[in-house]
A and B are shown apart, each in its own frame.
Chain A
Amino acid sequence: SQQGEEDPQALSIQEGENATMNCSYKTSINNLQWYRQNSGRGLVHLILIRSNEREKHSGRLRVTLDTSKKSSSLLITASRAADTASYFCATDAGDSWGKLQFGAGTQVVVTP
């Protein structure tokens, strides 16, 4: 079963625009991570936010976490064509083994 569910499933924007995607999950978590996957490649870690954090930034990325609503959002500002990829949220339920549960992902296409 999937813990996280991303919304929207697909997003098409132009370069320079912001892209926002959301992740909802079902059970309590220790942390939530976002990963990017370029077509035909492995996943690359973007950012990790712990359950006691509300917001985190990394370059053009901004992640928020609302544990009361069991949801997170990923904002990519000033998008570039190179941001075209699928983005996944993954939750760690906290048994310390690092077992992640992934959502189905948001496919983002950035056109020049």
Chain B
Amino acid sequence: NAGVTQTPKFRVLKTGQSMTLLCAQDMNHEYMYWYRQDPGMGLRLIHYSVGEGTTAKGEVPDGYNVSRLKKQNFLLGLESAAPSQTSVYFCASSYAGGAYEQYFGPGTRLTVT
């Protein structure tokens, strides 16, 4: 099992460009999450999904959109990138919410110039 994979691993964007980050999991998990990690801070939740076709806002959703068309995939989109979105993005999945551990992908390092 590959677990949670993320594509791409690195990306450099110019201000105003758009891109989509792909997260895929092969554990048949219902719940999926997108976080961002900035220096000196813990992870902050951007959006999450509790099942195929559902999405919800997390703590810092502005400037991002998500889609969960297939159970195994969770896409994070930036429509018009800003330098403040320079960060490392992590995807995670879990069997369910509540007292279940989350499995994390390796991360995508995004730089917006």
B64 close to A (CB within 8 Å): no
Cβ B107 vs Cβ A100 within 8 A = no
Contact of A102 among B43, B50, B56, B105 (CB under 8 A): B43
How many of chain B's residues have a CB under 8 angstroms from any CB in A? 30
> Per-residue 0/1 for B2-15: is the Cβ within 8 Å of any A Cβ (1 yes, 0 no)?
00100000000000
Mark the stretch among A42-50, A64-72, A74-82 that contacts chain B.
A42-50
Confirm or deny: B74 has a beta carbon within 8 angstroms of a beta carbon on chain A: no
Which residue on chain A has the smallest CB distance to residue B3?
A42
- Contact residues of B with A, CB < 8 Å? 4, 31, 33, 35, 40-45, 48, 50, 56, 58-59, 90, 92, 94, 96-107
Taking the closest CB of chain A, its distance from the CB of B34, in whole angstroms, is 12
Q: Using Cβ atoms and an 8 Å threshold, which residues of chain A touch B58?
A: 99
- Given B35, B44, B48, which contacts A97 in the complex, CB threshold below 8 Å? B48
Contact partner, A104, options B42, B98, B103, B104, Cβ 8 Å: B42
| A60 interfacial by beta-carbon distance below 8 Å | no
Report which of A43, A95, A100 forms a contact with B45, defined as CB distance below 8 A. Answer: A100
Assess whether A30 is interfacial by the CB under 8 Å rule. Answer: yes
Do residues B104 and A42 form an inter-chain contact, with CB atoms below 8 A?
Answer: yes
Counting chain A CB atoms within 10 Å of each CB, the highest count among B33, B99, B107 belongs to B99
Contact of B104 among A4, A44, A105 (CB under 8 A): A44
When the two chains form their complex, are residues B102 and A45 in contact, meaning their CB atoms are under 8 A apart?
Answer: yes
Number of residues on chain A facing chain B (CB within 8 A):
30
Q: Report which of A94, A98, A102 forms a contact with B42, defined as CB distance below 8 A.
A: A102
B97 (CB) vs chain A CBs: closest residue: A98
Asked if A33 lies at the interface with its beta carbon under 8 angstroms from chain B, I say: yes
Q: By the criterion CB–CB under 8 Å, are A48 and B99 in contact?
A: yes
Which residues of chain A are within 8 angstroms of B94 by Cβ–Cβ distance?
98
A104 to B38, CA, bound (A): 9
Q: How far is the CB of A55 from chain B (nearest CB, A)?
A: 17
Cα distance A4–B106 when bound, in Å?
A: 23
B97 engages A97 (CB within 8 Å) = yes
Contact A96 B42 (CB under 8 A): no
